[in-house]
Amino acid sequence: MAPLLSIKDLTVDYRHEDRWLPAVKNVFLDVSEGETVAIVGESGCGKSTLALTPLGLLPQDGTCRTTGQVFLNDKNLFNLKEEERRLLRGRRIAMVFQDPFSSLNPVLTINYQLQEAIILKEGKPNHQTAMDLLKQVHLSDAERILESYPHQISGGQRQRVLIAMALVHHPALLIADEPTTALDVTIQDEILQLLKELKTKLGMAMIFITHNMGIVKNISDRMAVMYAGHIVELGKTADVLAAPKHPYTQALLRSLPKLTGSLGTIPVMEGQPPEPSAMPAGCPFHPRCDRTFERCEKEDPFERDSDGRRVQCHLF
């Protein structure tokens, strides 16, 4: 079966003064129907840029350029006109953004903003549809929330409202860009469980973006590890977490605190991800890698298959 979403050799560059700087480089990624793929990595590795690309939400003012192909089923999204892309947003692909407060208009009620999405689907406002949507995301006091402004409800409630708005058209693919980062730990878990429940109930696929390696085990079927715009490792989540292959993935997992065993110092990965304007020659991870050798400093590694895992490293 062909994948629902297929990203082929995607490169995204941003203009900085008189240079083009890479944010995403030569990425290949497929997402099947009903599957959840987690994209993990440190801040600045290109996760959000990758997520915005299928929706056509990258800057259109000449400061950004893309090459490659992005298919939704059999449609190459890069070949569509803006009006055609607009018809796909929300209907076939929906997105939940990181900060629920900045994603909602502070001077409009929740009902007004939710009805905007409902009108696009049903042609007119529908109070009962709004109520049903809020109940679907486990907001029991739906009537009060509809009448409220964003600042009058909690962060967890705002995030549930955004999830409800994203689900108005029952999209085939939901992209969640760090949807729990702005929430406290207990609310984070509630939102994660809600997303899992809705994914199963509605049969949709999901791309879940996070920098928190600790939550991917319970949310995803496969995981892609990004570094400096590259997907350096891709495989089944259980396999990657049990036996990471790329040195970067290994370093990320070593840095997670353990709940068992003796207390001690948590290993910390030295250095910082490279700035796009100062990308090192060869493998972008080699200045921080404890397994580097001469070839790493000269040649950009290409992707290899290792026991069903895709790994971008000269060690393989």
Per-residue confidence (pLDDT) for residue 246, from 0 to 100: 96
CA distance 204 to 212: 23
pTM above 0.95, yes or no: no
Residue 109 contacts residue 44 (beta carbons within 8 Å): no
Specify the pLDDT at position 263: 64
> What local confidence, expressed as pLDDT, does residue 224 receive?
97
Query: Which residues lie closer than 8 Å to 224 by C-beta, 6 or more apart?
Result: 29, 37, 38, 39, 40, 231, 233, 234
Cβ atoms within 10 A of the Cβ of 116, count? 14
pLDDT of the chain, 316 residues: tens digit per residue:
679 999 999 999 999 988 999 999 999 999 999 999 999 998 889 999 999 999 999 998 889 999 999 999 989 999 999 899 988 988 999 999 888 888 899 999 999 999 999 998 999 999 999 999 999 999 989 999 999 999 999 999 999 999 999 999 999 999 999 988 878 888 888 999 999 999 999 999 999 999 888 789 889 999 999 999 999 999 999 999 999 999 999 999 988 877 676 666 777 888 888 998 899 999 999 999 989 999 999 999 988 888 889 999 999 8
Q: CB neighbours of 22 closer than 8 A, spacing ≥ 6?
A: 11, 12, 13, 229, 276, 279
Q: Where are the domains of the chain?
A: 1-80+211-256+267-316
Residue 100 and residue 158 in contact, taking contact as beta carbons nearer than 8 Å = yes
CA 45 to CA 59: how far, in whole Å?
18
Class of domain 1-80+211-256+267-316: alpha beta
Q: What per-residue string of b and e applies to 59-73 under the rule 16 or more CB within 10 Å gives b?
A: eeeeebebebebbbe
Query: Both ends of the chain: CA-CA distance in Å?
Result: 29
